Amino acid sequence: MSHALRVTVWNEYRHERNPNHAASRVYPEGMHAPLASALAQAGMQVRVATLDDPEHGLSEADLAETDVLTWWGHAHHGAVADAVVDRVQARVLDGMGLLALHSTQGAKIFRRLLGTSGNLKWRESGEKERIWIVDRSHPVADGLPEQFVIPHEEMYGEPFDVPPPDDLVMISWFPGGEVFRSGCGYRRGRGKLFYFRPGHETYPTYFDPTVLQVIVNAVRWLAPGRGPAPIYHNRPPLEPLPPNE
């Protein structure tokens, strides 16, 4: 790709604007801020879009100029317009990458692309999360240690209602006894989706350098390829058909 990778960092951005919510203190400039900053520092061309922007900041024109879309949603999945979900899905099938972060497992677009509920166990406990790399050949694991710790996070536990990942890269351990498939790649049409678990709004997870490394790696892996555009319709034969008996 000769141009810089064009990334849209999408954020629900409501918790952080509520002065009574802990997120407003942890992420005073919004959860998108550290993500956008890390991606820009990695040489990408970054724009931010949020739920309360017109068309959620995801117009046809916006998406046409987006190579990879990162998505963080939590409490307002229902407020995302179905027309925007349709549009994002179509762009993924046409090649755009989608990085689904943390509670985005409940978002319409996540369920739409995977066909499952995204449900899971959860506990808001500030527990330690230990993330193990289980596919050391995968680009998302580039430069990572064999495991890393996030000191305080929300717990997510299996069963995680997603299809078997095409690429299972990471598994989380929690002290309360749970495990979780926390780094999962999927291929859909010409595009790809990656789910990365950490990122509860009340912990400073998105300031953690290893977490940001995973996110940069994942966005690179999600960059659109140049595979063939599909031809879907009634087609004449490529070879002469034998006469029909």
The reply to whether 22 sits near a second copy by the rule CB under 8 A is no
Binder to a second copy among 54, 78, 209, 242 (CB under 8 A)?
A: 242
Strands (E), 174-232: 179-188, 191-196
The number of angstroms, rounded, from the C-alpha of 184 to the middle of its chain's C-alpha atoms is 10
Judged on CB neighbours under 10 Å (0-12, 13-18, 19+), 22 is: middle
Check binding of 204 to a second copy (CB under 8 A).
no
Contact 101, 129 (CB under 8 A): no
Shortest Cβ distance from residue 234 to a second copy (Å)?
A: 6
Alpha carbons 243 and 191: distance in angstroms, whole number = 40
Give the shortest CB-22-to-a second copy separation in angstroms. 14
Please report whether residue 20 would count as binding a second copy according to CB under 8 A: no
Q: Which of 22, 95, 207, 210 binds a second copy (CB under 8 A)?
A: 95
How far is 189 from 97, CA to CA, in rounded Å? 11
Shortest Å distance, C-beta 202 to a second copy: 13
Interaction of residue 87 with a second copy, rule CB under 8 A? no
The binding track of 37-76 with respect to a second copy, each residue x by CB under 8 A or -, is: ----------------------------------------
